[in-house]
Every structure is written in structure tokens, then in C-alpha cells.
Amino acid sequence: MSEVNFDGLIGPTHNYSGLSEGNNASKKNYSSPSNPKNAALQGIKKAETLIACGLGQGFFLPHERPFIPGLKKLGFNGTDEEILSSAFNHSKVLLSNFSSASSMWAANAATISPSPDTKDNKIHLTPANLNTMFHRSIETEFTYQQCKIIFPKKYFEIHSPAITISGYGDEGAANHLRISKSHNEKGFEIFVYGESGFKNDKKSVKRQALEVSRSIAFNHKLDIENTFFLQQNLQAIEEGSFHNDIVSLSNENVFIAHENAFQNKDDLNKMLNILESKIDNFQYIEISNSEIPLKDIINSYLLNSQLITNSDNEMQLILPEEVKGFENCMSWLDKLKQISDVKLFDFVDIRQSMMNGGGPACLRLKVILNDEELDSLNQNFLMNNERLESIKLLIEREYRDVLYPDDLKDPNLLDESRRVLDELTQIFDTGSIYEFQKL
């Protein structure tokens, strides 16, 4: 079994419109100028770091943005230029929602259970409905279609997105963990939720309902004895951990979490006792609040890093450069090397993503595959040197260096975005998959 990561290729409309409620970085950098070109190149460089570690690397294509068909559904009509102008004049926020490049954060694309965990020995995949945030909810259909193109029916069971309960959505792998002795052995899957969908609590935005998480686990045909449901710590949510992957992470036998990651310590301890009895060399590492305060965990994105097993069978952590600005986090990394299997560290510059609240773990969807499953994938979505070079040349030629949220009404940006997407469908050999290509 091996790990393949599918990152979200960052689109030409990458901007800071402050759309993500509960996301500190998104709100802090509202209306700042963005650099779509740097954002996309930084994302590719991060992916190349994973390739250098010996892991397979794929990309999801950007979504069509600004999404003119969505604006038409709301009654805007005329030429594309007229639609953009009317939508902007009616509501800047509305146009921003239909122009967001948020599909770049592929951790929210889906929840995936690898074949060793499922009763039918197929890989089960449920695209996230992302219904808590409107700008993300409009991603679901295109993500679903891409998954059907990439992942073949013979080995994959691709489910329809989960039903929404009382406005609670499903945020995908950002609220999902897997613990196992190794990738190829049956694992334990942990679903992290914010609240029950039937509890009326408006103090903070809780994006994942317990009932939604349970439905995904049932549909994935998981062994109930190997499946856990933990509630995310309410204080962590209120302070800016809008997804669980900001306060905990896992890879094979290693599980790292802040002491304020989960709400119910009894539930956590019961689960840990089971994992310790079932998994050889299970390592649970808890970061105390005195060691690193919750605020620093959230602001540094220390745990929104990618913990991987490289091709030399060594544990390696891919961290954002911002962690270097926190002395307590750097001291903890020195300690981690001494007390765990994690010995190697790489720091990556993904500042453009980080300014919108997305670290290394946000940018990727982790897929565990055996050799046959890996070979069955649509290879056009997996990266080689030639494909990566073609994508980088396209970005250098077409992406803007500076973009403000108000630039989203520029019809030239729409034309540029369509040229990019059209050429990407040629590089990935998908045929006409975007709405504008079908007109």
C-alpha cells in the first residue's frame, strides 16, 4: 500500500474576500491583494516536495470561476460582461462567492476509506457537500464528476454527497483521521464532528454534524468496532480551529493532538486504550497547553502539516514556513524527534494559501492504495516531469501577479480563467468538462 496525495490546483481567481466564517486568517486578510501566480506555483512546489519524498502526486483541476451558470440561476442575464457587472453592483459578496478559488483546499473534497478498512474491500469515497459555507457548497458537483473521472468503479465506490442536517455540512477529510500499524493493514477511522445536527447552538460555526459523519461511516461499510466519533473541542472551534486538522494529525501508528483538540476526554481515553491494545508501537503524542497554547497551535498551523511515510519508510513532517516564527513550536519539534518515529522535517512556502487559512494538510486529499488500485487510476491526473512543466508554463503565462476582490468583475479575468481551464483539460486529456466548453 502507498500514499498518493491529490492537491487542489490553485485557480486564477485566488483572492482574499474573507468568506470563511470562523477562519481567522481569512478574516484578517480580507481585501488584501493576492498573487494567484505565486499561489499556484507555491502549491506546485509543495507537491514537488512530496514527489521528492517518493510519494505519488496528483492534482484536482480548478473549478470554473467566476461561475456564470450559478449567477444565471439567480436571475442575472445578458452577456457574460453584463452578468459580472450586474452581480457586482448588486452584491460584491455574491460575486465573491461565485468566484472563490477555495477548491484549492482538497482536504475538503471528500472522505476516503481505504480498502483494508471496508467490508467489501473497495475504496469508499464520499465527496463533501460543504453546505455550511455557500462558496464551498457550489464545489460539490464538479468534485463529484472529477472523482468519477479519476477513480474507477472496479476499485472505488463513489457515493453521492451526504445529506445536510439543519444546515450542517460535511467538510471531508479535514475532519477525518486514520490510525493503523501500517498503511496496508486494517485501520481505525476517526470521524470528528462539531455538534449534533439537531442541537441549536449558534455561538460558533460548527461545520460537521455527528449524524452526517455517522452516515458516511455506515455507507463506507466500516467495521463499527474500528470506527470512532469524537467531538471537536468547542473552545478550539471558537478560537479558530474551524476544521479538526488544525489541532490534530495522524499517519499510520502516530497520532498527534493538542490537549484542547477534543471535547470529551473520557471518549478520547477510551479510544486511546483500544488503539494501544490493538496497534503495535502506537504513539499518541499530546501537546499540552502549557507547552504550546491553543492560540499558537492555531496561528502557526503546526498541526496542519502533512505527516507522511516516505519511500525510505521514514516518518517525515511537511510544515508551513510560518511555524519557524514560533519558538515554542520549534522547541516542540526538537522534542518530537526524540520521542516519536517522526525524524525528518521539511518547511514549505505556501504563504498565499496560509493567508486564507490553508496549510499543507488543507491543500491535499490523502488516498491509500495498493499497487493494483494505483495502476487503475486515471494516470492523466498523476504528475510526471512533463505534465508539471506544462502546468507551470501555463501559470507563468496566464496567471496574474496581483488581484483584488473587486477585480472579480473584470471580464478579462473571466477570459483568462477560461483560457487556463481550457488548456488544463488538454494537459489532463479530459475532454470538455467545464460548462463554458459545452456551449
Q: Enumerate the active-site residues.
A: 171, 243, 362
Rounded to whole angstroms, how far apart are CA atoms 94 and 3?
A: 38
Instruction: Tell the burial category of 92 from Cβ atoms under 10 Å away from its Cβ (0-12, 13-18, 19+).
Output: middle
The separation between CA 294 and the C-alpha centre of its own chain, rounded to angstroms, equals 21
Contacts 24+ apart (CB under 8 A), 415-421: 416/12, 417/11, 417/12, 417/13, 417/64, 417/65, 417/66, 418/64, 420/11, 420/12, 420/62, 420/394, 420/395, 421/11, 421/61, 421/62, 421/64
Rounded to whole angstroms, how far apart are CA atoms 351 and 16?
A: 13
> Grid coordinates representing 402?
496581483
CA-nearest of 160, 166, 163, 172 to 128 is 172
Rounded to whole angstroms, how far apart are CA atoms 357 and 247?
A: 13
Tell me the angle at which helices 36-52 and 385-398 cross, rounded to the nearest 10 degrees: 170
Q: CB of 247 within 8 A of CB of 258?
A: yes
Rounded to whole angstroms, how far apart are CA atoms 278 and 282?
A: 8
Pairing of strands 315-320, 342-348: parallel
Rg (CA), the chain: 21
Q: CB of 196 within 8 A of CB of 210?
A: yes
Query: Measured between alpha carbons, how far is residue 29 from residues 243, 280, 322, 429 in Å?
Result: 19, 44, 15, 36
